[in-house]
Each structure stands twice: as C-alpha cells, then as structure tokens.
Amino acid sequence: MSVEGGKDPKEIGAMFSTIAPFYDPLNSIISLWQAERWRQKLIMGADLPEDGLVIDLCTGSGEVALGYLTERPDFKGYVYAIDFSAPMIDIARGKVARLGAPYPRRVEFLMGDATDLQFPDDKFDVASVAFGVRNYSDVEAGMAEIHRVLKPSGQLNIIEFFKDGVTFPPVEWYLDILVPLIGNIISSTKAYSYLRRSSREFCTRGEFEELLESIGFRDVTWERMGFGIAYIVRARKV
C-alpha cells in the first residue's frame, strides 16, 4: 500500500520556520482551544514504561515532547524530540530551559529528518507524531523508520488530519474558509492555506491503516477528535 507524500522538505521546513513565532497561539485560536486537549489525550494514552525511551517526531515547538515529562508523573524516562525547523527547535529548547530542573536533562531536541532517523534498530518504547505525518516527503519511508527504531511491541501514537475525517458541513466551512483566513492574516503568510489543503490531499483513514499494517504494525486503533477534524491513531510493532 502506497500513501502519497511528495512534500519538498526544504519548502515545508522553510514554511514552518516562518510561522514558528505564531505557531502555538495560532494553533490554540484556530482549533478553538481544542488542540491542547487533543495533544493531552495523545500523551495520556501512550503506553510509557516508567524508565522508557520516547521519540517524538515533527516535534515542532515541543508541546508533546514536554507533555510526556510534565503531564505523566508515572514516566521517569527520556525523550528524543526531532524536527527539521531550526526556529521550532529553538522555541522548544527555550521552553524546557524555562521549566528548569529536572526537565532539561530528560529531553533532547535535535534537528533531523523523520524519514532517515540516526538511531539504531529497536531502541524506543514509544514513538509519536502530532500533526506531522501528512507533511512527510515519503510517508511510507517515515512509518517504516518508526517501525525500525521501535522495540518489539513498541507503541506508535499519531494525531493527524485525514481526507475523509470531516463530514459535517459547518465544520468543513470553518476549516476551509475561516482557518486559512485567520491564520494567514495573523502570520502574514499563506501557510494556513497550505495546512488545510494538505489534509484534503492526504490519505483516508482506511488507506493509512492499510499502510501501517503492510509495514508490520498491528492492533491499530482510532479515536475521533472534534467532529472528525483529527484522529488519534495507535498501533504496535510486531
């Protein structure tokens, strides 16, 4: 099963670097303050061993990576957080520095390519991607890399927009018209037109599940967020 990616990493990286200063507040505004709740569900549902290792891909401003540390007192392990935008990584590093001890010694923010991870096989207990999979240059390669670096029975946790997610006309209107309008005005870019378009061009839920299973993931589950605006997908490495 092939899921189209084809995004130019340099173009996408440049776009996210441009909107980095606006990213967190705009996500809150255009999601009507639901994005934080969705990310919290992703974090709280992750199967974290007490002293486990986590990799958070497309980490952006680090909200999910830091959430593992601040919202899961049962988790005493370490997080590697990867993104290809230097300004995003700088924002994430600033956040963990402001949190202070003991958090900076439990997370490392790194520049990197999610489709070519510089880690050995079978290293991580949990992997996560929040709103980043549809931006991969090669979705299949990216999911295969996650499968490679996860330990056997390791858990994949994704939250993403899908082509067939929203079927309620008022919500579609909000996403198609108001979100790009608000986002583009505040950020002074066309980035938020792209973000909506990318979800319409991404695969369906069925296609994505088929891809995960073809790579070797099993026990795929789905949780619907906000009228189907987003879905949390979880799976296990065989």
For residue range 153-187, list pLDDT tens digits in order.
999 999 999 999 887 788 888 888 888 888 888 78
- 135 vs 232: CA distance, rounded Å: 17
Q: What is the pLDDT of residue 3?
A: 67
Q: What is the pLDDT of residue 186?
A: 79
Rounded to 10 deg, the angle between the 86-99 and 63-71 helix axes is 20
Q: What average pLDDT does the segment 58-62 reach?
A: 97
State residue 124 phi and psi, 5-degree precision: -105, 145
Q: What is the pLDDT of residue 81?
A: 98
Q: What is the pLDDT of residue 98?
A: 97
Q: What average pLDDT does the segment 1-13 reach?
A: 69
C-alpha Rg value of the chain to the nearest Å: 17
User: Comparing 18-32, 37-51, 88-102, 142-156, which segment has the lowest mean pLDDT?
Assistant: 18-32
Answer with the residue of higher pLDDT: 57 or 201: 57
Q: What average pLDDT does the segment 207-218 reach?
A: 98
Q: What is the pLDDT of residue 4?
A: 57
User: Comparing 50-54, 100-104, 195-199, which segment has the lowest mean pLDDT?
Assistant: 195-199
Which of 87, 109, 86 shows the shortest CA–CA distance to 97? 109
User: Comparing 61-75, 80-94, 171-185, which segment has the lowest mean pLDDT?
Assistant: 171-185
Exposed/middle/buried for residue 82 (C-beta within 10 Å: 0-12, 13-18, 19+): buried
- 47 vs 23: CA distance, rounded Å: 28
- List the domains of the chain with CATH numbers: 9-237 (3.40.50.150)
Q: What average pLDDT does the segment 196-225 reach?
A: 94
Q: What is the pLDDT of residue 151?
A: 98
Note if the bond before 102 is cis, omega within 30 degrees.
Answer: yes
In percent, the amount of the chain with pLDDT more than 70 equals: 97
Q: What average pLDDT does the segment 214-225 reach?
A: 97
CA distances (Å), 176 to each of 78, 170, 180, 199, 202, in order?
39, 10, 7, 11, 15
